[in-house]
Chains A and B, each alone.
Chain A
């Protein structure tokens, strides 16, 4: 292994500019003659808009224009990128998602009007003088209430609040297995709504060049081509060659920057209207009300077992919150990213999952780190623990008894997926060893001495990364492909520029991808540049989410490299006066094995661009190749997490005493970056389990609308993590990689809650929903004692 190739913990190239404050984020850009947009948002969760009087605002100092939906009549609604069908075959309800409110507002923060002014302050001042005559309506907040007969409708044209009623699996076989089961464990749970909070708030700058008719949108996006497709084709009617989307350095996304947002449309469209650049930057309070939220499921799950604790069937019924409108990928999150994961690591023979997606007067909900898979893992790993307790079995024994065995791969689950590889017992064993699982009893006794309750919890998760292939996801309702593209441009003196459709917003692609190229081409790591985030520079790619970048984007790069090497061999054969089949490429040299004939990679590059001695009649000059890669299957990272907590029964405070993660990500390109990804994911998972709870009151006001009330995890809230790996290589991509970005957020919540409930079992608490805040834990102890 070289010190910059695959498997090396190379320090991140991009960090030098980030730690020096030299990163270039969207808000760092200020265009000549730009105006600032302020978006007036609804203060009500649900109201009819009788009239909007903008006359005072238009007369405001520095005001350039004021727009409402009436001005945008020719602009389309915000499209949804995935269509789910209900059990009965009908298409989901897909009400219009207007850019600015049309006659009604449907959540606090819903955009109503936009003011453009010379300064931000002027725009905001003017917005305060807009008079909106609202007729406040009952708000639909609680999902269970929303689906009862006679409930107020969020969308009058839908009539009910059910977006779709979806099912997956063989219901009859499941029902039969339940009726013959030795024991059925049952659990009601809530997967709490989260507010993403990337460190960089969203920002969008629209620019229009009257001379060329070219529009440019600089935006905080994880997938600029997807935005170009959605906004160009469905909203503004702009052809691709007249629309450039540029997403420069982006400060975290976690899914929230996948989606196409109203503000991107507003600034692009408005720039064309006034022929000046238009800039909008969210403040943090605005982010709370306008970035798509995550999770928010209410679920009942049941697990049927035989007398030995062998799983016979699983049944899950979920209400999934969509919020007020369908965000870009919202419909697929609780269905194809959730129901399909319910086999987990287990050979449960039959599974049935049904999901009702529900409209409410809340901020739209969409993919957030893990997207559906944390919800699946949470319900599964919680019910497995309940089952172990019900059956009087150890948490590890029940898992071992039901694990899919290494010999069974490829394994067809009863919920559509085919796992290609894995070794679940290996991860479990390592996690148990690292965490000294056997020594827990002594630690628990020591805690008890100190007046504390100690608990241990396990979660054996699986995730599906690199969602694919395109024809399958298309049949499931995706309105886009899910391949990835890369261009490898070898420059004349042998340096390499890689244009990737993946987008880095913290992941470290500039380092990891360069390591892959360095390894494959045998060239210096520092002579490789990774270019991303600009539709004018990179081929049509689908961006970064779902832990897809290395598995899908990395493979596209490898395939393009293979084409470069193939062409290089032809050139080398000509220069070395031998047959192409005699040439091999190794360590950056085209060689004829067994001879001293060799040409360095740089010599071939130069020959390709200065083709004086070159087979011009057979081969084009230049050395640049593009590959589009459409994966054959998902990848399936898996692992086991062991969490140990100490609970203070006097205050309800939960402290994480230790956390041991063992993940199988397949081949790891950069162990340091992977460890960092796991740390980040674990912190978000622990945040969900213990701290983060989005809270709406009955009128749809967001009570947790700032950091004063929404608890983001801090360094002191988490322990020093122990992170380890096992490896089974992915069988269907050339790197053998699986992806690591979401694992921590997927596996951690059930490990933490299982540990908390294990601790609280001493005092009679049997169930608890996330986040397990001190107040909630104390109340649970108190309620258990009272009963």
Chain B
């Protein structure tokens, strides 16, 4: 790890100011990607601006069919939240399946989506549920937030403050984990809401994407058998030592079927 200055602001304004005044400042949320990367000297920063002291970024609220989760809320808090469990059980379930207990106790929703790891779980929930990402300067729809591998629509110094999830009729997430890292080789989030069915896939491509072909079929009939015969194209899907593109394409169908079954209870 290279040296850096550690800063701990108590408000968003202060945090924004600190980032603006630094040469190469990075926001520190849960740190579960950033800190290992720094330790391996794969990244460096002049300043780490730790958001842990900013109260307004924490907590979960629910009103008018929308669940809003503060950016610094940990995965284990989301998993254990009765509000989330009641309104969107699939989201609590997803949060409870991220990483391991250590990761869940420190990792945050804001950190996860700002990093946009192509195999992270949360991006699938945001896109699947048609969530809105609220930042220090605007609100961005999930469909427009995730722009590429480790890339988002966030501008310089822009910090995610919360994520708002419309409550769906039903939803479920099924993940086929990488046996080593337990990140998603393929994770599929299926949700049926007032605007129809959304199917968001993580792990398979450069960034989360919607499987519109499958959405179309599920809008005709929301059952596992509807997707049984769908063969997803493997074009452009990820390939690594754990899974070929072809295998990932196959798993998209399998995980979608299982998610639909799960959503249908």
Chain A interface (Cβ < 8 Å from any Cβ of B): 121, 124-125, 128, 285, 650-651, 691, 693, 695, 703-704, 707-712, 773-775, 778-779
Contacts and interface: CB of A to CB of B under 8 A. Distances in A.
Q: When A and B form their complex, which 7 residue pairs have the shortest distance between CB atoms, in order from nearest? A: A711-B180, A708-B181, A711-B179, A650-B254, A695-B241, A775-B243, A775-B247
A779 B40 contact: no
Contacts of B180: 691, 704, 707-712
Given A693-B241, A779-B247, 15 more contacts: A125-B2, A285-B40, A650-B254, A651-B176, A691-B180, A703-B241, A704-B241, A707-B180, A707-B181, A708-B181, A708-B183, A709-B181, A709-B242, A775-B247, A778-B250
Given A708-B181, A710-B180, A773 B242 contact: yes
Interface in B63-95: none
B1 interface: yes
Interface residues of B, number: 17
A774 B244 CA distance: 11
Contacts of B250: 778
A125 B183 CA distance: 32
Interface in B90-123: none
Contacts of A650: 254
B254 A774 contact: no
A704 B181 CA distance: 11
Contacts of A775: 242-244, 247
A121 B1 contact: yes
Contacts of A778: 247, 250
A285 B243 CA distance: 23
In terms of DSSP, what is the predominant structure of the interface of chain A? loop
B247 A691 contact: no
Interface of B: 1-2, 40-41, 176, 179-181, 183, 241-244, 247, 250-251, 254
A298 to B, nearest CB: 19
Most buried by A among B180, B250, B251: B180
A707 B178 CA distance: 11
B148 to A, nearest CB: 21
Contacts of B242: 709, 773, 775
A774 B241 contact: no
26 contacts: A121-B1, A124-B41, A125-B2, A128-B41, A650-B254, A651-B254, A691-B179, A693-B241, A695-B241, A703-B241, A704-B180, A707-B180, A708-B180, A708-B181, A708-B183, A709-B242, A710-B180, A711-B180, A773-B179, A773-B242, A774-B176, A775-B243, A775-B244, A775-B247, A779-B244, A779-B247
Contacts of B2: 125
Contacts of A124: 41
B179 A774 contact: yes
Nearest to B186: A651
Contacts of B1: 121
A124 B2 CA distance: 10
B40 A709 contact: no
A709 B247 CA distance: 17
A707 B244 CA distance: 20
Contacts of A704: 180, 241
Nearest to B243: A775
Contacts of A125: 2
A707 B103 CA distance: 15
Nearest to A703: B241
A709 B254 contact: no
A285 B36 CA distance: 12
A506 B76 CA distance: 34
Given A691-B179, A708-B181, A773-B179, A651 B251 contact: yes
B152 to A, nearest CB: 22
Contacts of B251: 651
B146 to A, nearest CB: 21
B178 to A, nearest CB: 8
Most buried by A among B242, B250, B254: B242
B144 to A, nearest CB: 29
A418 B180 CA distance: 42
A695 B242 CA distance: 10
Nearest to B258: A650
B180 to A, nearest CB: 4
Contacts of B40: 285
Contacts of B181: 707-709
Contacts of B244: 775, 779
Contacts of A695: 241
Nearest to B244: A775
Contacts of A707: 180-181
A695 B180 CA distance: 13
Contacts of A128: 41
Contacts of B179: 691, 711, 773-774
Contacts of B241: 693, 695, 703-704, 709
Nearest to A710: B180
Contacts of A711: 179-180
Nearest to B3: A121
A673 to B, nearest CB: 29
Most buried by A among B2, B179, B250: B179
A287 to B, nearest CB: 14
Contacts of B176: 651, 774
B265 to A, nearest CB: 19
Contacts of B41: 124, 128
